Structure 1
Amino acid sequence: MAIPLLEYPPVCQNQRVVNYEVPGDEQTRIYSTDNLLSPSDMGDLIEAAYRQIFFHAFAADRERFLESQLRNGQITVRDFIRGLLLSNTYKRSFYDLNSNYRFVEQTVQRVLGRDVYSEREKIAWSIVVATKGIKGFVDQLLNSEEYLQAFGENTVPYQRRRILSGRSVGEVPFNIKSPRYDAYYRAKLGFPQAIWQTTVRRYTSYDRQPRPGSPALFLDMARSINPKGNQPQRLSALNIDIEKSVPRR
């Protein structure tokens, strides 16, 4: 018998406010298959999906089969997002390197476009991960009423209500606020490291660099020479014995 999802009360956050926004350059661009005008728009939509889920997708991380199905209309954007969340790249980059609580937090941010409401929500979804696995967790998250109302079948998830007209600075993006690696794995991998440079490096343009034969090339060598000559004798004429100093013949 499957354990039902633990109830968690939502708190008053920006994404729960009725949409009343003034359009601007800082507002999040919405990518959806409902308003595609050219094949290049589909490419932009796919790149937006990769940025939302992976933050950055290298050539080895791309799901070419899913991209082909999406371009041909065989799957929806929601199915494409499901494929990215169940890919080896997402599992290796997020699930294997974090605890269940942190994995739930990062997945909720990327899929539902908001922060988790409380620790109780983390516990609720962590129970789903522990009992149903990653696939059951992803399916239940994508089939939730919140996701269907916010993004539906054809819209790429995005960070909701990040920019408010009443504030000059919006919320920090999820990819910056929640890094991929946990503190334990960051320390295990050896970063971040403070690198202190002991030598001062100077840049000299090519036209000011000394040419072969220039005395500037031998300046360091000349400075390294420390000649030591014989010091002059400091004797008083009153202390000289003339009879003993004059050679005897």
Structure 2
Amino acid sequence: MSIPLLEYAPTTQNSRIKGYEVPGDEQPRVFSTDNLLSSSQIDNLIEAAYRQIFFHAFASDRERFLESQLRSGQITVRDFIRGLCLSNTFTNSFYNLNSNYKFVTHCVQKVLGRDVYNDAEKIAWSIVVATKGRAGFINDLLNSDEYLENFGDNIVPFQRRRVLPSGASELPFNIQSPRYDEYYRGKLGFPKITWSVTPRSSRPVAQATKAGDPSMFAEMAQSLGYRGNQPQSISALNLDYQNLVPRR
């Protein structure tokens, strides 16, 4: 018996408000089978699906059978996305090399086109992964009301709300969430920086000495040695005040 999806809520209400951004370069391009007129356009749609799910697909990563079914109209775009998420490439590159929380983050970003709301959503979907398995989790995402309302059966998922209300742009999901988790990045040995020579130590700009700084002459002054003034052995009784005082 599977555990039902736990309830979770967005951290803020802004994520539920539709955007009214002015169209520009940051707006995502929508790929849909509703307006395809040529074979080159279906090729662009397939490439967009690979970029969304795999970020980049090598020749060995491509699912030729799924592509053939999509071209002939035997399956929908939603079925094609389902096949990519359950493929060996996605399993080996994302599912096997990450924790359930990280895998949930990847799938929500790639399938639903948004970032996870909070840790409560990660926990809720992670329970689905643990009880229904990877295939059950992917099916629940693709059958959710959120996916059907935004993408339906014929639209390739994309990153929604690329431009924030403040005018700033969100980073692409492939930069926010790299394919390999921190543990596996260290295990695979990248990224590492190797130095062929010993780097010179430098002082920060804020601490760099300026011209005329007394600290620049401290070593020179110490090298001269400190002798001081010798005490004078002149008695006040031996002073000739009449001749020492200048005449006016």
User: Which TM class, normalised by the smaller chain length?
Assistant: 0.7 to 0.9
Q: Determine the structure 2 residue equivalent to 1:195.
A: 194
Instruction: Confirm or deny that 1:44 pairs with 2:37.
Output: no
Instruction: Confirm or deny that 1:83 pairs with 2:83.
Output: yes
Instruction: Confirm or deny that 1:61 pairs with 2:66.
Output: no
Instruction: Confirm or deny that 1:174 pairs with 2:178.
Output: no
The CA distance in 2 between the partners of 1:13 and 1:57, in whole Å, is: 36
Cα 1:13/1:61, change in 2 over 3 Å: farther
Cα 1:90/1:120, change in 2 over 3 Å: same
The CA distance in 1 between the partners of 2:15 and 2:71, in whole Å, is: 30
Residue identity in the other structure for 1:4? P
The CA distance in 2 between the partners of 1:166 and 1:193, in whole Å, is: 36
Cα deviation code 1:213-242 (max 9, x no counterpart): xxxxxxxxxxxxxxxxxxxxxxxxxxxxxx
The CA distance in 1 between the partners of 2:164 and 2:131, in whole Å, is: 38
* 1:14 and 1:161 in contact (8 A); partners too: no
Once the two structures are TM-superposed, the CA of residue 20 in structure 1 deviates from its matched residue by 1.5
Q: Determine the structure 1 residue equivalent to 2:29.
A: 29
* 1:53 and 1:84 in contact (8 A); partners too: yes
Once the two structures are TM-superposed, the CA of residue 39 in structure 1 deviates from its matched residue by 1.0
Residue identity in the other structure for 1:88? N
* 2:76 and 2:153 in contact (8 A); partners too: yes
Once the two structures are TM-superposed, the CA of residue 16 in structure 1 deviates from its matched residue by 2.4
The CA distance in 2 between the partners of 1:37 and 1:24, in whole Å, is: 25
Once the two structures are TM-superposed, the CA of residue 165 in structure 1 deviates from its matched residue by 6.5
Cα 1:3/1:17, change in 2 over 3 Å: same
Cα deviation code 1:51-110 (max 9, x no counterpart): 000000000000000000000000000000000000000000001000000000111000
Once the two structures are TM-superposed, the CA of residue 21 in structure 1 deviates from its matched residue by 2.2
Instruction: Confirm or deny that 1:162 pairs with 2:195.
Output: no
Q: Determine the structure 2 residue equivalent to 1:12.
A: 12
- Name stretches of at least 5 consecutive residues in structure 1 with no aligned partner: 200-249
Sequence identity percentage: 71
Once the two structures are TM-superposed, the CA of residue 36 in structure 1 deviates from its matched residue by 1.2
Q: Determine the structure 1 residue equivalent to 2:185.
A: 186
* 1:30 and 1:155 in contact (8 A); partners too: yes
TM-score computed with the length of structure 1 as normaliser? 0.76
The CA distance in 2 between the partners of 1:163 and 1:14, in whole Å, is: 13
Cα 1:15/1:36, change in 2 over 3 Å: farther
* 1:22 and 1:165 in contact (8 A); partners too: no
Q: Report the aligned-residue RMSD.
A: 1.5
The CA distance in 1 between the partners of 2:129 and 2:26, in whole Å, is: 35
- Name stretches of at least 5 consecutive residues in structure 2 with no aligned partner: 199-248
Secondary structure, aligned partner of 2:101: helix
The CA distance in 2 between the partners of 1:194 and 1:103, in whole Å, is: 28
The CA distance in 1 between the partners of 2:59 and 2:13, in whole Å, is: 37
The CA distance in 2 between the partners of 1:15 and 1:55, in whole Å, is: 24
Matched length:
198
Cα deviation code 1:177-212 (max 9, x no counterpart): 10000110011001110022339xxxxxxxxxxxxx
* 2:8 and 2:121 in contact (8 A); partners too: yes
